[in-house]
Each structure stands twice: as structure tokens, then as C-alpha cells.
Amino acid sequence: MNPGALLGACLCSVLQCALLAVAVAAILRAVRRLDAASRYRTWSLVLLAAVALPAIDLAVRTSRPLDPASPQRAFAAFVVAAPLAKALVVAWVAASSALLIRLAFSFARLRILCRRSGPVSAALEARAALHAGTLGLSGAVTIRSSRDIASPVAVELSRRVILVPERLLEMLSADELDYILVHELTHLRRSDGIGNLLVKLARALLVWNPVLIFVERRIAFERELACDDAVVARFGNAGRYARCLATVMLSAPMPAAVPFARSARHTLRRIEHLATGVRRTAAPPRMALLGIAATIAVALCAAVSAPQFVALDVPLEQTVTAPIFDADFGPPRGAVVPAALELTPGVEPSFSPFIARGRRFVPRT
């Protein structure tokens, strides 16, 4: 594979992803009535487009003939040497491998947390089973307590497990524990664990794309809001649920270990969303969805005609290495002359009434 074409596809896809993310964010900002579940699906589509864009760009570039003297190379924004291009590809592979190894360690840690967790009361197990049936969640869900976590976690490995911190079992009331159970059960019903895994894999493989950091955060935030909407739809008390979130966040032993979200800022935004009482419609506007779909489709189609941003610093091949004719009227040095047109002394060409003898032409006798 040509490293220059690969780097060009990567750089071009970053610019395309940035424009796509800005356009989608502007549409979602204009349509405030769109519910969190629809926004989550929208940003998931943006992530899929971000994964597809470099593949499309690379396929288009490899299908074009490689001509060092073509205008594409002449108008490339960056011309890099072949060793540097190979070194960048190696750095990409190393960084992606490091993130994948880190992801594997995270899953191993989840398995260890599940094995070290303890049982909960039978009453809490019964309430969890009742809420799971109400949400339409099929299959068994195990509720476990753990002293090694700071916030509730829904785990989807070989079995579905909800880990609840031990301190919350003693601190929260039964109704507040129901909020947490419904939130985590909604994660399991939506298969958010698998979706989060796919997002992490895309982030690890496309480590060179900084736009995916923004897209990943938007997906995580809208995923939590969608589960919050399910809790409010189930119990109908947004204010009390907001106070429950605040209690869990303030009781966390570490500021970074906050409930359900990646950061305290996201949790505070969720509490504000619940406290203001602004409810979004469950039926998203069709024009907004059509505009988002058209934006993603235009981005994918534009990738086919994207310019080449990176080219390798390959020396141009020398097409003519000698004058048209040398002093002996022979063929140019370095040029390929068909045998039918090759002039040799003493041989009569079929297209001329003269024969060549040295440097003089003598009429035929």
C-alpha cells in the first residue's frame, strides 16, 4: 500500500469529519425539540461516516493511476519523503495498539470487579426483576454490590450484571435505588455496552482523528440523557431524580468518579436538564432528520472527488535523456525506437528512395 495515499486519505478524512460534525451540531442546536435517543442515533451515524470516509478516500486514491508528474502531485498541500511517511504509519499502528491493549485491560478489570462483587438483598433483586419486566428487558440480570467502584455500572460480558457501590445501598432510599436500577437497566435494554465498545474500537483505530474525541463525548452524553428520559418516563419525578444524581455525585470518593457519565461537567448538565423540566418530543421532526441524513450523504459523496493533500517526494522519471538525433543520425540515447523505423548503415529503408551510408546520402544506382 502506498503510504502517501494512506496519509492523504487520513488527512482528508479529518477535514471532512470536522465539516460534517460542525454541520450536524448546527442542525441539532437549531432543533432543540429532538429527543436524546434521536440525537444519540444521529451522532452514531456521524461516527460511522467518520469510519467510512478514510476507507472511501483510500479506495479512490488507489484506483487512480500513480503518475508522479500529474497535477495532483503538483498541487498537493504536503509532499513528504517516503521514509517519513512509513514512520508515520508505524507510529499510527503503535498508538492504535496501545489503545487496544488499554481497552483489553479495562475489560479484564471489569471481569475482576464482577468476581469480587458481593450479593445484594432479595428485595432489591425482586425490584430489579420487576423493573426489567416493565422495560421489556428479556433475560436474567444480576445485581451485585461492590466497594471498588464509585458509580453504578452496567456490564455486558458473558452475563448481564449491574454493579452498585456499597455506600449507595446504605445511603439511598428504596425509591432512589429504583432510579439507579431503571437507569442501568435501560442501558442494558439499549445494548449501550456493545455500542460503547464499538465507539472505543473506532476511537482506537482512528487515533489520528481528533474529531472523534468530540463525537465520542457527544455520543456518551446523549446516551446518558436517553437513559435519564427513561427514568423520568417511568417515575415522572424529574426533580427528585435530579437530587438523587446530585447526592450520588457529591458522595463519590473521587471527583472524577461520578455517576453514569464521564465527568462532573456532564453530570451537572444532566441535573440542569432535569431541573429545568424541558422535555423533548419523542417524535423527532422529519425535516431535521432529512437534513442530517442529507448532510451525511453529501459528505460521503464528496469524499469521491476530494483532492489529494499528501504526496510522496518521488523523483520524476526522465522521459528524454538525449537530443532528438545525435551527430551520427542515430536513435536518441535512452529512447526506445521501433525496429521498423531503425536506420542502420547499408540498409535501405522501405519509405525512402535513398540509402544511408555514413553521414552522406547517395542516390540509388
Domain layout of the chain by residue ranges: 3-312, 319-360
Q: State residue 292's pLDDT score.
A: 74
Residue 359 vs residues 91, 332, 345: alpha-carbon distances, Å: 62, 16, 9
Is the pTM here over 0.85, yes or no?
no
Cell output for 62 = 488507489
* Nearest Cα to Cα of residue 221 among 171, 273, 175: 273
Q: State residue 325's pLDDT score.
A: 46
CA 25 to chain centroid, in Å, comes to 16
Q: State residue 181's pLDDT score.
A: 94
Strand partners, 120: none
* Element counts in the chain: helices (H) and strands (E): 12, 8
Q: State residue 304's pLDDT score.
A: 59
Q: What gap in Å lies between CA 240 and CA 120, rounded to an integer? A: 24
Positions in the chain whose pLDDT score sits under 50 = 66, 68-75, 255-262, 310, 312-328, 331, 334-362, 364
Cβ neighbours of 323 (radius 10 Å): 9
Q: Tell me the pLDDT tens digit for each residue of 17-56.
A: 888 898 888 888 887 778 888 889 889 989 998 898 888 8
Q: What gap in Å lies between CA 59 and CA 50, rounded to an integer? A: 15
Q: State residue 315's pLDDT score.
A: 43
